Amino acid sequence: MVKIYKTQSEVEADIKDDVLVVQGDVKFECSISISASIKVVNGNIDAGNINARDIDAGNINARNIDAGNINARDINARDINARDINARDIDAGNINARNIDAGNINAWDINAWDIDAWDIDAGNINAWDINAWDIDAGNILYYAFCGVYNSIKCLSIKAKREVHSEPVYLDGSLEIKKPKEELNLSGKEVEVKIDGKTYTAIVK
């Protein structure tokens, strides 16, 4: 059975000793902003926006998460803003965190202090130290150390610190990807097929 909260006041009524404890699955049909922690025992969180001190749950499926510490199995969110994240898999839009300890990370942009992960697939990474198995990203900016067991694929990789370690890739290689070229068809004549018929058009 899923515990459903429809209003913020319903959530606040269940907070005891600065902790919201939920047994089993919980669904927040409203956006919540609380100074307390959320602890879900043997269950998952399904929510829109969550703003809490700490979150401890099985799987978290949310639009936006703003929290102190997040301890979860799987996180699926649009944006995550947290101090520390400890998770198995993270699938998110933008991640802004201090420390990330995860299995697999799939994100647009990551801004963090330290990243310790298995696989990272991201847009741009801005971090202090990175320790991972594989990295496939856009631009990587690290402080002093960036080490992977296998390979690094990226558009660029730079260190912030003047005295730094070059990227380490033990069993693989460093591949600098070429930026995707945008196809400019402005003013060009193109053929378009609609319902089996071919039309000629000029792209503006």
pLDDT per position as a tens digit, 35-52: 999 999 989 999 999 999
pLDDT per position as a tens digit, 71-99: 998 999 989 999 999 998 999 999 999 99
Please, what is the end-to-end C-alpha distance for the chain in angstroms? Answer: 56
pLDDT, mean of residues 13-31 = 93
Structure-block tokens of residue 156: 């660029």
State which H helix or E strand residue 114 sits in: strand 114-116
Question: In whole angstroms, what is the distance from residue 18 CA to residue 67 CA?
Answer: 14
The whole model's pTM is what?
0.80
